[in-house]
Each structure stands twice: as C-alpha cells, then as structure tokens.
Structure 1
Amino acid sequence: MNAMDYDVTVIGGGAAGLNAALVLARAQRAVAVVDAGEPRNAPAEHMHGFLSRDGSSPSDMLSIGREEVHRYGGRILADQVRDIERSGDGRFAVRLATDSVLHARAVLVATGLRDELPEIPGVRERWGSDVLHCPYCHGYEVRDTALGVLGGDVREFSLHQAFLLRRFSTDVTFFPHRIELSDDERTRLIANDVRIADGVVTGLVVQDGRLRGVEVDGCRTVPRAAVFVAPRFIPNDVLLTGLGCAVGENGWVVTDPGGRTSVPGVWAAGNVVDPRAQVVTAAGAGSAAAIALNGYLLEQDVQRATARHQNRTGGVGAVPG
C-alpha cells in the first residue's frame, strides 16, 4: 500500500473540485485531487454563462485548472475512489482503485451527477450537440431555429423548457411523448404560441450528421433543428451516503451554504448536491466550500497549538519562551 497524508482530499476534478483545490492550495494546505476523468459536460464543445470563459471549451478549462492547482503545490491523481473510511482519530482513509490510500484530515466530494435520458433512439447519440437540456447554456446558439422539447420524466422541467425557449425562437413544438397534458397545461402552451405534437416519440431523424426532425408514432416527422430534453438528475453521491451524510426529503445530500455535510470533516460541492449548478455556480460553490473547510481545519490547528502551549507552560496566561 502507498500511504500519503494530506490536509484535504478532493474527490472529483471538475469545476467545483478544482476551484476548491486551488483555494486550499493557495491557503497553504496540502491537497490532493482524485479525478476519474469523466466530466459531465464532456460531450459539449463550448460552455457559456461563465464570465471571461464564455464560449471556451470545457476540456480547456479543466486543463488550465489542473495546471493552476499544480502550480500552487496541489497534487492531481488520475484515479477513482473505491471507498472512504473514517478512523478513530477523525481522519479519513481514501482508498483508490489502484489500491493506493490517501490519508486526510477532511474530504471534499465533488463527484457531480449523471443525466438519465429517455430511451428514445438518437437522444443519447446526439446528446450535447443538437440534443440539449439547458436553455441558458445553449439556447442562444440555436436561437431563431425550429426547436422542440421532448416530454420527459421530470414533467415540470419539460414544460418550463417549452415556455422558456419561446424567448429564443418563434417556432417551438412540445412533444408530450408519455406526458398526459391537462387542459390547463394545453391552454398555457397554446396561449404562448407553443405547438403541441401529440403521440409517442419513436426516434430522432438525423441526416448528414445533423438533426433533421422528430419522429412521432413511427410514421410522421416534425422537422426540428434542435431539441431539448429534461433528464432525470442522479447524484453520484455513494461516497457521501456511505459515510452516513444526511439526505433531505428531495433525495439529495444536505449541506449548509458552505458545503458542510452532517458528518464532521466531510464537505460537498457542485452537482453532487445541487442539480441546478452550472459550471460557474459549481466553481463558486467549490471556492465557498474550500474557505469554510479551511476555517474548520484552522480551528483544529488553533486548539491543538493552544493545548500544547498549556501543557508546556502549565497555565493559560503563560507567555511562550
């Protein structure tokens, strides 16, 4: 076994994890980032809504982030975490897939989420190109084109997409698919100039490497240039729940505004605890968690130094020699 000691082990090398590691490394903490190299936004060519990074490649941002963390002494490990154990002294043993073990005073989990997509032929294959989910991330790039919204398991999100996309195009079609629309929902869609294409979506029509339309009931095609779908968000939180972190009524691990979970020494940031976090939001959450976490470690340092001082001097008010 290869044992290595750190103040903090960050699990997940996306925007949240890397920004947390950067702040911690600059605060003179020994920090390691374990990155499995499976970013959620890997299919996307560009990211948007991030001041000074708008339109840049997600992979370029991660590459620059790793270099910045390394510059301040942080360590990046291309590996996967198998499990985390807490020892009697409150420290954590982070066991990797390669059988290395990282020992840390605290851990920050930033393992993100996975998008569970509807089983419609073509959706997964086109995901991140002309099958999209976030109008704020991609709506501008497909503005003024024929847009579609595929009804998904997350009913409210699907309907919200349809209304929101009217800000980007005058040609929006809602495909209820397996959603049974109420009379009120139909009225609201029609009143906002969203057309409704009833029937079961049986696939996407792709020609010459581009989306051309949505196939309904296997017999008719509604021409579309891009479609949006509301995936079901599944947090990659097995490490957090395995440590006993409290889960809220919504099924997501609970944190305070600084990313602290219910388990002492365990923090979380980004999509693993916030399904709505975009890249810029996740990076900010990573920074906030790092500052809160450093304060937690600092208080431990102060208490230990005070105890050592009192043991040496035998009194609270004694001045160090």
Structure 2
Amino acid sequence: MNTEAATSATPSRQPLDEVMLAMDVVDTLRRRERLVKREIEVEGREQDLKEHLRKIYQAQGIEVPDRILAEGVAALREDRFVYKPPAESFHVKLARLYVSRNRWGKWLLGGIGVLMIAWTINYFAFVAPAKALPGEIAAAHAKAAEIASSDRARERAEQLLHAGQTALHNENKDAARQVLRSLEDLRTRLEQEYTLRIVNRPREQSGVWRVPDINTRARNYYLIVEAIDPSGKVLTVPITNEETGKTERVTQWGLRVDEATFQRVARDKQDNGIIEENRVGYKKRGHLLPTYEMRTTGGAITEW
C-alpha cells in the first residue's frame, strides 16, 4: 500500500502546539495594542509587524515560523480567538437563570416553604375541620339520642340534627359548628344526674332580683343554685341565659322563681343564716330538665 497516498487521503490537522502558538501570537498582539493599531491598519506594514513579533519571541528564546506569525495576524483580523456572547434568546435566558440559581434559589425555596406552611395551616385549621363537620354532627346526635330518656330530649336532639343538616346544605359552616356545640351541650346535660340546691355559704348570695328593661315597675326574682352529683361534686352545667340568649357552662346560675318563693327562701335564711329547705329539684340521667320542687319558670341568668 502506498504510504503517501494514505497520508494524502487523511485530512490534514494542524498540530495542537502550533494552534497554541498562534493563539499566543494573537495574545501578544492584543497586549501591544498600540503596535497593532499602528502596523495592522496601514496597508503593506504587515511584514513589519511580523518582523517585530519575531524579535519579541526571539528575545524569549522561541523560534516562530513565518506561517505561524501570518496565521496569528490573520486570526487577529478575523477575531478568531475572541469570545462572542451568544445572541439573546429564550434558551440563553434559561441558561443564565440556571447559572445564577445559587443567588435566587434560596429565596425561591424559602417562598415555597412559606406557601407550604400556609397551605398546611389553612388545611388543618379550616379545610379538614369543615370536611369533618357532617360526621361530627351525626356522631354527636347519635350519642345524645342514645342517652335521651324523655320525648322532650329526643325531640331536641332531632331539632338540632335538622338544623345542622340545613346549615351544611347551605354551606354555612359557622352555623353548622354552632349546632355541633349545641349537640355536645345537649349530650352533657343528658349525661348529668344531680340535685339542684340553693347556694347557702357565707359571703355568697342565695338570691337576686332584677328590674327588666321593658317594664321598670316589675321585678324578676332568681335563686342562685348549683348542681350537686351523687358523689357530692359540684358540676359544670350548660345554662342558657334568658337575658342574652347565650349558652354558657357554669357552676352556679340564677333560677327564676316567683316573688312568693323568693321571699319564703329569704325568710328561711334570715331566721338563722341557714336555708333548711335548700333543695330545688332533681335531674335524672337522660332527661333534659330537672323535676322542680319549687315554682319556677325554668328561666335562668348566668351573671348578677
């Protein structure tokens, strides 16, 4: 096989050291900007520029062939070894954004973290409880109905269930939550069993009277009572205040009685400081209201 033919058939490649040398020539030309400006812009002075370059390299002990010098000068003219930034495009912007990720990435991650925390708080504070409302209302009604032993208690449980279903149908979550609280209060009342007694301790009131706003000539009389369970413990009872309409959990409340009953209890206490007839009624488990042993409307107040 002919070696010369094989060699000529192979594409010629310039050795790497020559390329590096040509780049060095260009770099040298750039460092001597005034020389380049003066020599390269004047036609016919290219040879003088090459000669000047040869002397520079000879002073460093480097022999540079003429073709390398010529290639370096040509490369300078053509800006061959000059970096040219890519044209502005969408891909270039993405690349720059990626390169600068260390600068903006932490802020992005921080913002995502804040959004995730806000979403979590919103879900567990509002979304999840709202989804659980139908089941909670149904469960509270079932427990109250199971304990109820009187028609009145069962009717009240059904009324509250219907109110809760209506609120859910209308997507009124506040009203549905209020119904749930009412059902829980109802269950608490039905579970309790206690004796209703007039408070009779030193420095504590046993009764109060009020002048109603709509009739300043009248008086409403109340005995201050508390619920005592079979073990002698004072219970906390959900009581609806007839003056405000709000239901509150209290250990004492004012039970409305007529004037004759109020005055009789007052005389009983004034006699020797002790109310002998201090029992007002008894509430059985499963019943909504006590069985009263004194005349009363069943109305109550929670503040006096």
TM-score by length of 1: 0.17
In terms of fraction of residues, the more strand-rich structure is 1
The higher relative CO (CA closer than 8 Å, separation ≥ 6) is in: 1
Q: Larger Cα Rg: Structure 1 or Structure 2?
A: 2
Structure with a larger share of its residues in helix: 2
**TM-score scaled by length of structure 2:** 0.18
